[in-house]
């Protein structure tokens, strides 16, 4: 025997909205980076953060004249492609605010409008 559910028998779907908030203290501490490399595969984006310092000693300066310098990789973060649009939007919004608040410029004046 087959029974059909009527609208009265179908449970009402409830929407649960959650706001995700980061903890106040980073789990790994705060890390400075002045270099970032972005790569991707079909399934993920990889952001490698490094800290490049110009060579200070003569031996290191000789290496500096070579074609390639290895930047120490501090941390590598792998993320789902699903969050990339929101990440790009957040970076753009915050960079625009940075320009306005600390450089007295608009994105148009900086030449970064639409980037």
Kindly report, residue by residue over 24-73, the tens digit of the pLDDT. 888 888 889 999 999 999 999 999 999 988 767 776 666 666 667 788 89
Q: How far is 97 from 90, CA to CA, in rounded Å? A: 11
The domain limits of the chain are: 30-79, 82-115
> CB–CB of 57/13 below 8 Å?
no
Q: How far is 8 from 4, CA to CA, in rounded Å? A: 11
> CB–CB of 39/46 below 8 Å?
yes
pTM of this prediction? 0.66
> CB–CB of 106/99 below 8 Å?
yes
Kindly report, residue by residue over 99-113, the tens digit of the pLDDT. 999 988 876 777 766
pLDDT at 115 over 60: no
């Amino acid at each position: 025997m087959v029974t059909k559910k009527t609208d009265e028998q179908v449970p009402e779907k409830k929407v649960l909205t959650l706001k995700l908030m980061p903890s106040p203290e980073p789990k790994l501490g705060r890390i400075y980076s002045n270099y970032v490399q972005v790569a991707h595969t079909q399934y993920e984006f990889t952001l490698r953060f490094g800290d490049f310092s110009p060579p200070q000693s003569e031996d290191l300066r000789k290496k500096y004249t070579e074609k390639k310098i290895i930047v120490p990789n501090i941390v590598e973060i792998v993320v789902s492609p699903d969050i990339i649009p929101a990440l790009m939007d957040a970076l753009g919004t915050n960079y625009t605010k940075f320009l306005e608040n600390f450089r007295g410029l608009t994105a148009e004046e900086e030449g970064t409008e639409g980037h």
